[in-house]
Amino acid sequence: MDINFPHYLLSKQSVDDRALNRHVYDRLADLLIRPPVRVIEVGAGIGTMLVRLLRWGLLTQVDYIAVDEMPGNIDYALGWLPQWASENGLQASRVRQNQLQLSDETRTVNVTFERADVFNFMETGPAKADLLIAHAFLDLLPMPSSLAKLLSLLKPDALAWLTINFDGLTTLEPPIDPVLDNKIERLYHQSMDKRPTGGDSRSGRHLFEHIRQTGARVLAAGPSDWVVHAQDGRYPADEMYFLHFILHFFEESLSESSELDTRAFSAWLAERRAQIEHGELVYIAHQMDFLVQR
C-alpha cells in the first residue's frame, strides 16, 4: 500500500462526517457569534475540517488560520482546496504564498496556512480567535498543560470545539485469535500513552477534568465513534484506504514490541488486510467531542 498521509486525511472525511457528535455541533452552530468570525484550527492537516464546515453551512464570513507543522499537508492543501472550491461553486484565488480566498455570492473565507508547531505559533502572538478547533489532535499532546495554552488563543468567552478525542476502545471484528487480538489492542493503547511527545489513550474521559482545571466550561459533550463496515462487500467512499492506514498505524506502533511474537503479528496483519480486501473487517474506535467556553 502507498503510505501517503494526505491521502489518509482525505480518506477519513466520510468516517469523520458520520462520527462527529451532532448534539455538540448543533450547540456550536447555535452559539457561534455572528460573522465575521476568526477561527484558529490547530493540527489542521490538509483543510478537511474547513471544507466540512463550508459543506455544512457554518462558515460565511471568516478568517481561518490553519496551523500544521507538516509541510506536505500544507502543500497538498494549497493545491486541493482550490480544486475542491471550483468543483463546488466557489471561486478560489491565491492571495499570498500561504493564503487563499474562497468565495461565492454569500461567503468569503480567507484561509491562512501557518506551517509551525502549534506552541511555536502561539509564541508569535496571533490575534485571539472566536473559535478554536482541535480535531483528532488533543490525544497526541501532553495534558493537561497543553490545554490551557491552547485555550489562551481564544478571546474571553469564546468557544473551543475539541473533536475526535480517542477514549480507550478499539474493536476489530471478526476475531482472529481472541487472546492475540486483546493483546495487540492493549499494546496499541499503551503505545499511545508512551509517545515521547505526549498522548493519552483515554483522552476523551480525562478531558472533563482537564477542562475544569483550566477554568473553562463544558457546554456540550458526547461520543464521536468511528464505525467503519462494508455494505454488500464494499466500503463507502475511500474507506478501504482508511482501514489499511489504520493497520499501518498498528504496524508502525508495534513492530518493535518485545511483547509480540514477530511472526504471529505479521500473520495477524496479513489476515486483517485480507479481511479488508474481502469487505469483512469492521472497525470501531470510541472517541469524544466537546464544546468548551473559555
The percent of the chain in helix, strand and coil, each rounded to the nearest 5, is 40, 30, 30
Distance CA 244, CA 2 (A): 10
Q: How confident is the model at residue 111 (pLDDT cuts 50, 70, 90)?
A: very high
Q: Over range 207-235, report the average pLDDT.
A: 97
Asked whether residue 110 is assigned to any structural domain, the reply reads: yes
Residue 1 has pLDDT above 80, yes or no: no
User: Which residue reads 466537546 in cell numbers?
Assistant: 290
43: left (phi over 0), alpha (psi -120 to 50) or beta: left
The CATH number linked to 66 is 3.40.50.150
Residue 163: is it exposed, middle or buried by C-beta count within 10 angstroms (0-12/13-18/19+)? Answer: buried
What are 163's three cell numbers?
473533536
Summarised one tens digit per residue, pLDDT across range 243-268 is: 999 999 999 999 989 999 999 999 99
The pTM assigned to this predicted structure is 0.96
**Number of compact structural domains in the chain:** 1
Range of the domain at 49: 5-168+197-227+285-293
Q: Which amino acid is at 189?
A: H
Asked whether residue 244 is assigned to any structural domain, the reply reads: no
Provide the pLDDT for residue 195. 85
Considering the chain, what percentage of its residues have pLDDT values greater than 90? Answer: 93
Asked whether residue 239 is assigned to any structural domain, the reply reads: no
Can you tell me whether residue 203 is helix, strand or coil?
helix
Contact between residue 37 and residue 61 where contact means Cβ atoms under 8 Å apart = yes
Q: How confident is the model at residue 197 (pLDDT cuts 50, 70, 90)?
A: confident
* CA 90 to chain centroid: 25
HSE on the CB side for 63, CA within 13 Å?
A: 9
